[in-house]
Structure 1
Amino acid sequence: MTTTTSDNSPSRPASIDAATIERAPRTPLVDALLECLRAGFDPEQDPPRTSTAVPSGQLLLMPSATSSWVGTKLVTLAPENPGRGLPLIQGTYVLFDGLTLAPHSLLDGAALTTLRTAAVSLLALRLLASEPPRRAVVIGTGVQAAAHVDALLECTGVEHIDVVGRRPGAATPLLQAARDAGRTARELSPAEVNTVTGADVVVCATSSATPLFGADLLDERTTVLAIGSYQPTTTELEPALVGRSQVVVESIGSALREAGDVLIARDAGLMDIADLVTLAALATGDVAPDPTRPRIFKGTGMAWQDLVCAGAIAPQSCQRPTPSTAVTT
């Protein structure tokens, strides 16, 4: 069955490349995510990501749907690719019209993931910060760390950013981005990570399997955005810090599947899953941020976030005929 446009010719999805996605302004994405949750979308009903073993690695599938859009992200993980000079992770996002289910666009999957992860973090910060953030600490120097620096510079009033990295010089592009935006910035080593004390926002964007800093270094002024770990056996945060903080997750189900920061604290008897707060509950006002203790957003990424961001980017990035409901077989 082939979907047709109003002139009876088959519709072809537009292609949106990484450069176009990277240029997308972030505030409209944050607004779209917030609007989706306030309109009643329930992330608990979002299908979990599935993984299929293939001869050269894994194929991951992340579908989601709203009344406006239907889509799925197809991601491959090829362990031998780095040795070939190719990315470990590659992917494509396929977006369909929500009414006609006609293909609308194909988006670069890696760029979309990077952009939406930072957008979700910005949403959490908007909902959780007790005061507009002025000083940020970003732990990590990879793609997500850079994306979060860019997001903080574009969408907040952050005046100073400390970047903590393992390799000397790795933070240089992130520092330059901050300075080019008229902010101050400095590079710190892991031995200087106690600089998190007094920060308004701390971004944890590493592949570390163990905690990055001590549990007693943060107070009630700090919002933590923990987005690096995504397996149930790894954590960037001390369980004791998780236990004494207000912890916000994308959904209870996804946290129980993938959020090691939460699960390890629970297994240590330091927190109760019943105390978790969801982004949706914050967005709708059912729960308020707690200004008396640190606030942690733990994100692992969900399919509905890709869908909302793709749906916000695609109409602005391509002009194509609106498909009708006519079909040919």
Structure 2
Amino acid sequence: MTAPLDLDLTLGPAEAVAALEQVLLAGLDPEGCPPRANIPVPAGELLLMPAATDRYAGVKIAGVAPANPDRGLPRITGSYLLLDGPTLRPLALLDGAALTALRTPAVTALALGRLAAPDAAHLVLFGAGPQAYGHLDALHAVLPLRRLTVVSRSAGPAERLAAYGRDLGLDARCGGPGAVAEADLVICCTTARTPLFDGRLVPDRAAVAAVGSHEPDAREVDGVLVARSARYVEARSVALREAGDLIMAGAGEESLNNLAELVTGRAVVPQNRPRFFKSVGMAWQDLAVAVAQYELRP
């Protein structure tokens, strides 16, 4: 049997967003996708994420090792194996961490591209790690950003991200949690387990995304914001199992719109209150982006 290709990720953020959008417009129902398996291990957690279509299948094995940053290593590790759908023959291997770093911001950008006000210009970004950079790149690719405020517990990484924003042509600086009061967009991509800001401060015009956790007892936003907001998720079934931001706020299934409904125009998007998108990550997203990369090969 031919060995799978060792495939580098060369897709840009806009291409990843387009790959996700096309899958949903073609009729994929996230509610019916296989669940992720979360397996505790001594170093942290293993995530097993399978997905399949008629043409392709794939599985990501991701490690979440909270102590790794102190060792100078990435917190998220892993690999992705892409398979031929009809035969399950291995086709390609991709870096799982790089795939996650690309597809997670692309999911957020796909959602916020529809939830943000048309003139949304000021992004308040919580976090200064790899996901923060990826989210800045993705949002910059799909929205008319002009201003960036970075909020992070670590001054050095925050300033480096702000400098990166200035290199993109943005009016970028560091700030505190109160910056959300002037935000058009708020993105939370941190390891926080308790709310990062006061939800009363978020303007009605703003769209907010929280992507940093996939545990029922961890959250980045408070119940005040959730109660005020129109709510959007990747899939209701997954959010009610893994999205602590919603679970701890008591959000019910009937109050949630899923991403497919948002992309196809079936979900209502009000402009008189905040719009909140909660992402926990799903395997169909990895498969969509991996397939797009594989089909670009020479």
Label 1:165 to 1:51 Cα distance change in 2 as closer, same or farther (>3 A): closer
Structure label with greater radius of gyration: 1
How do residues 1-329 of structure 1 correspond to structure 2 at under 5 angstroms? Answer: 10-17=1-8, 21=9, 23-53=10-40, 58-77=45-64, 86-188=73-175, 192-266=176-250, 271-316=251-296, 318-319=297-298
Q: Is the partner of 1:265 in helix, strand or coil?
A: coil
- In the alignment, what sits opposite 1:326? none
C-alpha distance in 1, partners of 2:41/2:190?
27
Contact 1:202–1:225 at 8 Å: present in 2 too? Answer: yes
CA deviations over 1:14-33 (Å, ceiling 9, x no partner): 1124xxx2x42111221221
Instruction: Using the TM superposition, give the Cα deviation of residue 283 of structure 1 relative to its aligned residue in structure 2, in angstroms.
Output: 1.4
Label 1:292 to 1:61 Cα distance change in 2 as closer, same or farther (>3 A): same
Amino acid at match of 1:132: D
Amino acid at match of 2:261: A
C-alpha distance in 2, partners of 1:225/1:59?
24
C-alpha distance in 2, partners of 1:313/1:129?
28
CA deviations over 1:173-220 (Å, ceiling 9, x no partner): 3222221122210012xxx31111131110111111111111211122
Label 1:140 to 1:80 Cα distance change in 2 as closer, same or farther (>3 A): closer
Label 1:89 to 1:139 Cα distance change in 2 as closer, same or farther (>3 A): closer
Instruction: Using the TM superposition, give the Cα deviation of residue 147 of structure 1 relative to its aligned residue in structure 2, in angstroms.
Output: 1.1
Label 1:15 to 1:265 Cα distance change in 2 as closer, same or farther (>3 A): same
Deviates more, 1:43-52 or 1:219-228: 43-52
Deviates more, 1:195-204 or 1:112-121: 195-204
CA deviations over 1:265-324 (Å, ceiling 9, x no partner): 10xxxx4331111111111221121111100000010000111011111222x33xxxxx
- Equivalent pairs: percent with the same residue? 45
Q: Is the partner of 1:174 in helix, strand or coil?
A: helix
Amino acid at match of 2:139: L
C-alpha distance in 2, partners of 1:262/1:226?
10
Contact 2:54–2:85 at 8 Å: present in 1 too? Answer: yes
Contact 1:149–1:174 at 8 Å: present in 2 too? Answer: no
Q: Is the partner of 1:210 in helix, strand or coil?
A: coil
**TM-score computed with the length of structure 2 as normaliser:** 0.93
**TM-score computed with the length of structure 1 as normaliser:** 0.85
Q: Is the partner of 1:197 in helix, strand or coil?
A: helix
C-alpha distance in 2, partners of 1:275/1:79?
33
Task: Give the paired residue count.
Answer: 298
C-alpha distance in 2, partners of 1:56/1:130?
42
Deviates more, 1:291-300 or 1:211-220: 211-220
Label 1:272 to 1:313 Cα distance change in 2 as closer, same or farther (>3 A): same
CA deviations over 1:44-67 (Å, ceiling 9, x no partner): 111111134557654321000123
Instruction: Using the TM superposition, give the Cα deviation of residue 84 of structure 1 relative to its aligned residue in structure 2, in angstroms.
Output: 5.8
C-alpha distance in 1, partners of 2:271/2:289?
30
Q: Is the partner of 1:209 in helix, strand or coil?
A: coil
- In the alignment, what sits opposite 1:324? none
Flag structure 2 segments of 5+ consecutive residues without an equivalent.
Answer: none
Q: Any runs of at least 4 consecutive aligned residues in structure 1 with deviations exceeding 6 A, and if so which?
A: none
Flag structure 1 segments of 5+ consecutive residues without an equivalent.
Answer: 1-9, 320-329
Contact 1:47–1:64 at 8 Å: present in 2 too? Answer: yes
Contact 2:25–2:263 at 8 Å: present in 1 too? Answer: yes
Label 1:52 to 1:197 Cα distance change in 2 as closer, same or farther (>3 A): closer
